[in-house]
């Protein structure tokens, strides 16, 4: 059955096929997108490619489909509302693999004006076909599978912090010396002449110099860099050549710091508005020593406070609109980490708002609960004319809003016709984009029409209620409002209980996944609504001004002006934050494929594949310039000795003739290999022969393979697809010898894809020797799925403990097969179990003791030990591993537990 792992990896769009069956050149060929295990989507798009809506997708999720082809489970999901729903066609898998992958759906989630874009998908092996209704089909090729160990930040910070092998000193403004390395400086800044006097960067303030050097060695900013220090870096280092990337990074830091500060200020303002509302209601309290007489309630004051509270609520709402619009506009400039940080911050404020809401409800409950019938009657009498006036104002506001919405729909109808004409014309390369945008515009128009229909129904219902209220006599109106005060007490009480329950069970009620979806969904829809008002400003302007007149607050008007909803002076031309520069108001299609764009991620070195320094380091190795170290590779070539096939075949005897020794020298750079490999650093700093002779001798390694290993040390990348099983195994042994953990993990991951009947025992032995747990589990899993391999003669060449483990896995497999078979044909399985138990000196679980006084069978002891061990270690540990541990512990539970945790 297809699982989510089938989709994880990097895919490339190979071609675009029209529904008529013709291949079209659209310009998006070669575009790559990566689906990672965390459910995120990253796009790598050329700058000259037409920005299509689905390039803005950020997350994906795989769901089950029911028999009718619908998605099971909840409708909410991680991400934005632009859902790519892909229904799997099982027939494709039956043709390719002979079996179906099951009913699955994968949805890609992005944002485009709060709309959904649906694709269907057919996937088999490394091919994926995406079909968009009445538009086109995109054929995608899987170009790489995920390797979580591949993403390792690349830097030389160890050399800067420890100063080993330093050959240059830069003095700061206060006289502090920074010990640096010419070799590394030239990698990042080849355009700077570091040999001249005074040394470049000399005399800069210490914090500026430290931040600059940190970037040169790590291509990122140091953690804890202050805004003021970064501003001085921009001012003092801007004119130095080869540091344009550093200045760009500093500017991004300043922009995103300003963005965070602005978002924090908006949230703080909303909290302040809520506090003001609470204080206003609290100010209505009567002195506890006084009696609640009818004269103690001031209806005019209550009406004034209510209006003030509504104005504060409207001001807070305008701040929320600004926050949502700000996030939607700037999210394309932010990395995933930065977006998640903002969303997490917003979620952290929810309990604070809920507590404020509880406090407000408590104040309302206290005020309403203390009202006497006479007081409610007096308040109702005063509020009747106020309510009648408010209803008239609201009616006029709704009528104007409906008229503006109908004008917007009419304008969109014309735009739809224009788009339909345009997408039939033009070059082939932009047909896809025009068709997609036209289809989305049609969907947007339908959305506006549905909104208009719902608004119309709600308006009619409101008018009926208003007419019923207005036709009632004055006494009836007072009576209805007085009853409303009574029902408000119950509503407040229920709301208070509900909010308390939500606050107590916050984590269960609103998980991180749910909140992430809700936040992105809400901000996307709000941003879409703001864009529609901006695009139709002439129609919506009277309505916006009317709202400003009703609220009558400068903060409210300022917020609408900053959103571009209220025409006012030159502020419309600068709707972004002062420090971030002008930004287009409408949501853009494309999310930039940039990793270093958030405040936090600016302090993380880029991955090796994205590092400019890593590329230069590889060129330095290949050029062999300015080397100060030599690797001497000694390879013994013995002719005629016994040769054991690495694939596990039967050894072939040869007559010993003679021995030859081949020596190969590879030049390198001490500071590079010491900074990139701790083993080499210890060897070169130990004061032993390697550090004195500046030579490291390597035995029993092929020189060409060692060069590949050294290239990885320099640049952090290696291509394992072109290497054989034996070469990858040797590379893994090298990585283990020199403690290069990331390369060792990459080799271990790659070898799992080389498992077959010929290599499984060889790789099992290697995994056991190098303590490669994942590779060993994969080998054992392969053996359990191919139980016929348990009779191979090569098993006798394995170490004794591995033989026992393999036989235990085979025994477990046969037991499971027997337990799942209810027919007499299982006797062959029984005999096989008996054979294995005889060889392992374990009594078959299928045989019974001859008498009640016979000792407990070994198989029963094994089963008892396995059950006890499973209770301790949990369900995630593979069965074959527990069997192996139990056998090694002689079926003693305490010893088995000790063995497992040791």
Task: Give the N- to C-terminal CA distance of the chain in Å, as an integer.
Answer: 36
User: Is 318 domain-assigned?
Assistant: yes
Q: Are residues 315 and 440 in the same domain?
A: yes
Q: Are residues 391 and 455 in the same domain?
A: yes
Q: Are residues 516 and 383 in the same domain?
A: yes
- pLDDT 10s digits, 207-253: 999 999 999 999 999 988 889 999 999 999 988 878 989 999 999 88
pLDDT score at 101? 38
The secondary structure of residue 868, as a DSSP letter, is H
User: Is 290 domain-assigned?
Assistant: no
User: Is 661 domain-assigned?
Assistant: no
Given a cut of 50, whether residue 28 has pLDDT beyond it is yes
Domain count, the chain: 4
Q: Are residues 523 and 383 in the same domain?
A: yes
Query: Where among 121, 148, 175 does a domain terminate?
Result: 148
Given a cut of 90, whether residue 382 has pLDDT beyond it is no
Q: Are residues 222 and 142 in the same domain?
A: no
Given a cut of 50, whether residue 634 has pLDDT beyond it is yes
Q: Are residues 54 and 193 in the same domain?
A: no
pLDDT score at 730? 93
Classified as helix, coil or strand, 68 is: coil
**CA 272 – CA 555 distance, rounded (Å):** 13
CA distances from 523 to 79, 705, 895 (A): 11, 53, 57
- Residue 219 burial class via C-beta count within 10 angstroms: exposed 0-12, middle 13-18, buried 19 and up: buried
Query: Where among 510, 538, 573 does a domain terminate?
Result: 573
**Which of 97-111, 309-323, 439-453, 692-706 is least confident?**
97-111
**Block residue for tokens 């995920």:** 146
Contact 870, 891 (CB under 8 A): no
- pLDDT 10s digits, 686-716: 877 777 888 898 888 899 999 999 999 999 9
Inter-helix orientation angle 773-785/800-819, to 10°: 50
Work out the pLDDT band at 59, boundaries 50, 70, 90.
Answer: low
pLDDT score at 584? 35
Average pLDDT, integer, range 56-63: 67
pLDDT score at 599? 62
User: Is 34 domain-assigned?
Assistant: yes
pLDDT score at 50? 65
- Phi/psi at 17 (nearest 5 deg)? -120, 130
User: Is 781 domain-assigned?
Assistant: no
**CA 554 – CA 560 distance, rounded (Å):** 10
Q: Are residues 235 and 263 in the same domain?
A: no
Q: How many CB atoms lie within 10 A of CB 254?
A: 18
Query: Where among 573, 601, 634 does a domain terminate?
Result: 573
- pLDDT 10s digits, 469-511: 888 888 888 888 888 888 888 888 888 888 888 888 877 777 8
Q: Are residues 405 and 460 in the same domain?
A: yes
Classified as helix, coil or strand, 847 is: coil
pLDDT score at 250? 92
Average pLDDT, integer, range 161-186: 92
**CA 488 – CA 42 distance, rounded (Å):** 50
Given a cut of 90, whether residue 156 has pLDDT beyond it is yes
Q: Are residues 364 and 476 in the same domain?
A: yes
Work out the pLDDT band at 121, boundaries 50, 70, 90.
Answer: confident
**Which of 95-109, 354-368, 670-684 is least confident?**
95-109
Q: Are residues 44 and 119 in the same domain?
A: yes
Given a cut of 50, whether residue 275 has pLDDT beyond it is yes
User: Is 327 domain-assigned?
Assistant: yes
Q: How many CB atoms lie within 10 A of CB 117?
A: 23
CA distances from 97 to 120, 407, 458, 757 (A): 20, 55, 55, 20
CATH number at residue 216: 3.30.710.10
Given a cut of 80, whether residue 888 has pLDDT beyond it is no
* Residues spanned by the domain of 239: 157-254
Q: Are residues 269 and 398 in the same domain?
A: yes
User: Is 294 domain-assigned?
Assistant: no
Work out the pLDDT band at 572, boundaries 50, 70, 90.
Answer: very low
Q: Are residues 100 and 244 in the same domain?
A: no
User: Is 439 domain-assigned?
Assistant: yes
């Amino acid at each position: 059955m297809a699982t989510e792992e089938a989709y994880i990896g990097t895919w490339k769009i190979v071609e675009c096929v029209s529904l008529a069956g013709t291949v079209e050149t659209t310009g998006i060929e070669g575009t790559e997108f990566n689906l990672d295990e965390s459910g995120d989507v990253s796009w790598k798009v050329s700058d000259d490619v037409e920005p299509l809506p689905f390039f803005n997708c950020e997350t994906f999720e795989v769901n089950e489909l029911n028999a009718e082809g619908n998605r099971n489970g909840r409708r909410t999901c991680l991400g934005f509302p632009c859902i790519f729903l892909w229904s799997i066609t099982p027939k494709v898998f039956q043709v390719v693999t002979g079996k179906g992958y099951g009913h699955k759906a994968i949805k890609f989630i992005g944002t485009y004006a709060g709309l959904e874009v649906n694709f269907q998908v057919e996937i088999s092996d490394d091919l994926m076909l995406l079909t968009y209704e009445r538009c086109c089909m995109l054929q995608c090729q899987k170009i790489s599978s995920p390797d979580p160990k591949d993403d390792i930040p690349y830097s030389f910070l160890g050399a800067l912090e420890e100063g080993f092998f330093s050959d240059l000193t830069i003095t700061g403004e206060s006289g502090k010396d920074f010990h640096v390395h010419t070799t590394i400086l030239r990698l990042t800044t080849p355009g700077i002449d570091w040999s001249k006097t005074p040394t470049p960067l000399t005399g800069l303030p210490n914090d500026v110099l430290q931040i600059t050097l940190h970037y040169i060695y790590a291509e990122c900013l140091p953690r804890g860099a202050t805004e003021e220090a970064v501003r001085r870096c921009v001012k003092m280092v801007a004119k130095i050549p080869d540091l344009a990337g550093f200045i760009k990074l500093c500017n991004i830091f300043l922009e995103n710091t300003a963005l965070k500060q602005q978002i924090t200020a908006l949230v703080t303002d909303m909290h302040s508005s809520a506090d003001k509302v609470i204080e206003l209601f609290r100010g209505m309290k009567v002195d506890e020593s006084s009696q609640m007489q009818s004269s103690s309630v001031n209806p005019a004051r209550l009406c004034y406070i209510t209006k003030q509270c509504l104005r504060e609520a409207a001001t807070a709402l305008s701040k929320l609109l600004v926050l949502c619009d700000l996030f939607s506009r700037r999210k394309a400039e932010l990395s995933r980490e930065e977006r998640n940080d903002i969303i997490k911050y917003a979620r952290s404020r929810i309990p604070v708002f809920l507590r404020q809401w509880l406090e407000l409800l408590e104040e309302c409950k206290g005020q309403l609960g203390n009202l006497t019938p006479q007081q409610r009657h007096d308040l109702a009498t005063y509020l009747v004319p106020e309510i009648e006036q408010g209803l008239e104002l609201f009616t006029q506001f709704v009528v104007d809003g409906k008229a503006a919405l109908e004008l917007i729909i009419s304008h969109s109808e014309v735009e739809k016709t224009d788009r339909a004409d345009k997408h039939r014309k033009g070059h082939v390369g932009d047909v896809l984009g025009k068709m997609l945008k036209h289809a989305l515009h049609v969907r947007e128009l339908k959305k506006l029409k549905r909104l208009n229909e719902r608004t119309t129904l709600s308006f009619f219902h409101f008018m009926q209620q208003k007419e019923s209220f207005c036709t009632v006599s004055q006494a009836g109106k007072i009576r209805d409002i007085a009853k409303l005060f009574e029902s408000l007490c119950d509503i407040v009480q229920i709301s208070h209980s509900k909010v308390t329950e939500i606050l107590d069970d916050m984590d269960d009620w609103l998980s991180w996944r749910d909140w992430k979806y809700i936040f992105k969904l809400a901000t996307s829809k709000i941003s879409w609504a703001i864009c529609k008002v901006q695009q139709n400003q002439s129609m919506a302007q009277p309505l916006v001004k009317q709202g400003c007149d009703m609220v009558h607050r400068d903060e409210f008007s300022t917020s609408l002006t900053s959103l571009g909803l209220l025409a006012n002076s030159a502020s419309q031309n600068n709707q972004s934050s002062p420090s971030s520069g002008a930004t287009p108001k409408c949501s853009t299609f494309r999310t930039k494929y940039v990793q270093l764009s958030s405040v936090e991620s600016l302090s993380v070195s880029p991955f090796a594949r994205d590092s400019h320094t890593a590329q230069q380091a590889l060129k330095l190795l290949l050029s062999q310039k300015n080397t100060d170290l030599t690797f001497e590779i000694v390879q013994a070539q013995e002719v005629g000795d016994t040769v054991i096939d690495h694939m596990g075949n039967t050894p072939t005897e040869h007559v010993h003739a003679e021995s030859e020794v081949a020596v190969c020298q590879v030049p390198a750079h001490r500071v590079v290999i010491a900074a990139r490999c701790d083993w080499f650093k210890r060897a070169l700093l130990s004061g032993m022969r390697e550090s004195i002779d500046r030579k490291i001798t390597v035995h029993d390694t092929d020189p060409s393979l060692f060069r590949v290993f050294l290239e990885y040390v320099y640049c952090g990348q290696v291509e394992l697809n072109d290497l054989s099983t034996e070469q990858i195994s040797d590379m893994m042994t090298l990585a283990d010898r020199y403690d290069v953990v990331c390369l060792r993990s990459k080799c271990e991951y790659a070898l799992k894809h080389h498992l077959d009947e010929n290599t499984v025992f060889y790789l099992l032995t290697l995994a056991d020797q190098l303590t490669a747990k994942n590779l060993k589990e994969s080998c054992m899993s392969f053996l359990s799925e191919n139980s016929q391999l348990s009779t191979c003669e090569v098993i006798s060449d394995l170490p004794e403990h591995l033989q026992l483990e393999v036989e235990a896995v085979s025994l477990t497999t046969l037991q499971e097969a027997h337990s799942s078979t209810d027919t007499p044909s299982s006797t062959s399985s029984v005999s096989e179990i008996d054979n294995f138990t005889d060889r392992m000196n374990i009594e078959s679980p299928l045989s019974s003791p001859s008498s009640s006084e016979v000792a407990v069978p070994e198989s029963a002891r094994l089963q008892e030990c396995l059950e006890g061990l499973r209770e301790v270690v949990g369900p995630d540990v593979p069965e074959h591993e527990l069997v192996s541990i139990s056998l090694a512990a002689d079926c003693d539970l305490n010893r088995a537990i000790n063995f497992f945790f040791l």
